Amino acid sequence: MSSGPTFGPTALATPANALTVIRLVIAPILIVLLMVSGRSWLLLGLWFLVAATDLADGWVARRQGTTTSGAFLDPLADKVLVLGALGALVFRSILPLLPVLLIAIREIAMSVYRSVVGRKGRSVPAKPLGKAKAWVQDAVVVLALVPGFGGPLPHAMLVVLLWLAVAITLVSGAQYWLAHR
């Protein structure tokens, strides 16, 4: 016997949303710690902990019912976390500014677009390329947080991976724009 979702689409106070809010609260702490202390195993562990809340909120939402608020909050939390971390890594001179700016412009534009479309009662579900974009951006942050991952060759690999993230980010943005214009 199968029961339906626990929460309807208009619910606000859900376990999945609570996990997302935790991610939103922890993100600024992680960003400030990164700006103040730089790379560390503690920050890398905190990053993985926060990433686990992203996986957990998706798992919970699929079982208990997705909500409109969750569809807005989850990508917002992801963007705050990733853009904040990338910005802190630029601040620490670990990453170059231009590729991070390009990623930020696309992510902010996509958030604004999702918000406008959401007010009209439509959603913009994640596409496979958008998910790949998120994984590559996360990989950049993870590698950049690893203590001792420095020197010319590892740094060059990190920058190449960052530019790959830019390419996927911009192509996925164009994909959304073409599909929903």
Give the pLDDT confidence of 105-116 residue by residue, as tens digits: 999 998 888 778
Domains in the chain with CATH codes: 15-180 (1.20.120.1760)
146-155: long-range pairs with CB below 8 Å, 24+: 146/39, 146/44, 147/39, 147/40, 147/41, 147/44, 148/39, 149/39
Q: Say whether pLDDT at 1 is over 50.
A: no
Instruction: Give residue 97's pLDDT.
Output: 98
Instruction: Give residue 96's pLDDT.
Output: 97
CA proximity to 31, closest of 67, 69, 77: 77
Instruction: Give residue 9's pLDDT.
Output: 60
User: How many other C-beta atoms are found inside a 10 Å radius of the C-beta of residue 137?
Assistant: 27
Radius of gyration in angstroms for the set of CA atoms belonging to the chain, rounded to a whole number:
17
Q: Say whether pLDDT at 141 is over 80.
A: yes
Instruction: Give residue 151's pLDDT.
Output: 77
Residues 60 and 78 sit within 8 Å (Cβ to Cβ)? no
Q: Which two tokens stand for residue 13?
A: 């106070």
pLDDT mean over 133-137: 93
Computed over every residue of the chain, the mean pLDDT equals 86
pLDDT mean over 28-39: 92
CA proximity to 169, closest of 124, 138, 123, 125: 138
